[in-house]
């Protein structure tokens, strides 16, 4: 009845080297890194660094020109 602890089971899976454990580990790591990557890159086209700098400059200029003058 659950005499093995969670840590013992995890160490068995990590260090056994069994093919199914290795494949499961690779799948888990793939999901851990794949989901955030997918969420960050969906709906955006890849653009060059120069395009990014130009877009940032336009946004900065628009923000600076539309801001009311600071009162002192």
pLDDT confidence of residue 1: 47
Distance CA 20, CA 13 (A): 9
What spatial distance separates the first Cα and last Cα of the chain, rounded to whole Å?
73
Q: How far is CA 15 from CA 5, 18, 29, 68, in A?
A: 16, 8, 16, 63
Residue 15, token pair as written in the block: 């260090």
- Report the pLDDT averaged over residues 44-68: 84
More confident residue, 68 or 54: 54
**What single DSSP character describes residue 69?**
P
- Report the pLDDT averaged over residues 21-39: 93
Distance CA 16, CA 20 (A): 10
* Digit-coded pLDDT (tens) for 14-28: 889 999 999 999 999
pLDDT at 3 over 70: no
């Amino acid at each position: 009845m659950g005499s093995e602890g969670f840590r013992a089971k995890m160490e068995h899976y990590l260090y056994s080297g069994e093919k199914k454990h290795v494949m499961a580990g690779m799948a888990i790591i793939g999901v851990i890194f794949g989901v955030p990557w997918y969420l960050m890159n969906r709906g955006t086209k890849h653009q060059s660094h120069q395009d990014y700098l130009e877009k940032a400059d336009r946004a900065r200029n628009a923000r600076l020109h539309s801001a009311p003058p600071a009162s002192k």
